[in-house]
Structure 1
């Protein structure tokens, strides 16, 4: 089977779609990806991809075709240009593509417009689309401060509805997405199925890096508006007199400098920033942790999301402490792998961290975390469900 994958983001950008495509190749599929120019999360296109360099690559058996894209920058206007430059250039690319594929897979993060090239290919070649919904549109716009009654929101409501309805099947990474798609956008429930994310295999490898007489809490991932990492900084300030408690922030994003500035303003000595690290190095930072931290903005739509880092934390067999609402909180409670409080409640998060340090159930939480991952989020289960859906569409 020949699969055309549409996603604005791909390696060396840190998204799981790269691993999915490589796994499909290992399983005997012919995979081509239409993607953009690497610029996430830094905001600038990497130098080795500028001036029409490396527009076609073969990466671990996957053919990667890169379209023109404006870097996302650090301002909302640049992000707007980034979104539309990829949607337009990728749509033109698929319109004139002569290659024939059996199915189209859209790995739909933000923005939803990355589904447009797939629809163009579908209309031209009469092929089916499987859209994997990882960010819910237009609901995600409200978390970015756009009012539901605004013209912009209404426009994207119409666009999003058309894109989702144009897909033959919609896989959702979060159970809560299903109700929104069905009730708000009128998507046929029979075309929607649950496909939670998995963690890359390297997170399953044991890697312990312990610091003597310290409790280490690690946040790993994007540092943007939605992740509310400043909640962790404020918690660190609450616990500044507990000299045996250390916070480690691994990642990059639009709010990294603001978080660093907040640390400096509060004169904190218990928070360390490491910046973005290659995926291959992440197990080392996970190994440092007595528990992993997960935070999100206090927003109804964002709370419906199940962040991919949760699966990585669980695959590594780590207890999880969160200031988070919605589905992620439900999973942590159900798995009995840690503690949770309301999103953005930094004072309560501090109390949970103190409670964890005194708990005698740390090892049991770690075991519960890993066991829940193996039962619900394994890579084998994910690939089995995905491949079954793709084969079904080809018929």
Structure 2
């Protein structure tokens, strides 16, 4: 309908131009003649102007017909007046246009080439990711605190015997199979009775999903909304990211779950308290909430300390983290993750996590256990 509207507007404008041209031709001739000769010349030029106007109208109609045919996806007609012979010049141009080879749309070619390059790049990245995962898996060193333990890594999430709502959430997040760190960490994080764990893993390894799954697995939503899982990170941005990108998607099917961010800007009065099953925040804010009894440590089942190497770099974070650990019940499961393990981090980790299983990257950045290279 928009095409017909434009054509109608085009016709009105074209006919207006025709009439203006006719009047202009007549006025020019009137100004150049006088007397009787002026009258005779006026009649002759009036005929000439009418002829010009008629030809212009005919051309306008022909163009309008072509536009209408194009709008209706019909073959273009030479003229709207069947009795009028075809213009040889126009016919010749049309024949040349029909004979000319159809030019390819460069934009279409560029788009197809872009899609082809994108698909090839995606395949290469997937192949590289698989190779990297295999390499990381081969470099993982697992040290169990209980030498008699028969815990082994898993190849699929189904082997973990997780509740259906968690398995469904994992697959909906796009996880097809466990990453290298998840294969070894998840059986230990989900073990009964709970086991403490120290894991060496960098961003993008899947460690956030691993400890998030561990926290959600320990939470009982049917119980009163008291803190059952606590995660401490060095920055408020990381705390928000963990909640938005990991906890909420993975807990999508856990109706009634309550989460609270213990970060700067989130002010909660002591009289109100926190009725959340999970708290994720920074060391200073968590210590503040514990001191003011906004959060009770007595009901916490699992404690996660993420990016421990960054905690050590900040002196206040180290002291606050140790204070949090001391307030937790002895039965609380402790999970500590760090990208590197220089001597200072090893010393810090030994105070934070008692009798842990360790999953470390052999020959990775600062692969140390108790200050010595692991064998």
TM-score normalised by structure 1 residue count = 0.26
Q: Of the two, which has the highest radius of gyration?
A: 2
Which is bigger in relative contact order (C-alpha 8 A, separation at least 6)?
Answer: 2
* Structure number having the greater strand percentage: 1
Which protein is richer in helix relative to its size? 2
Q: TM-score, normalised on structure 2?
A: 0.27
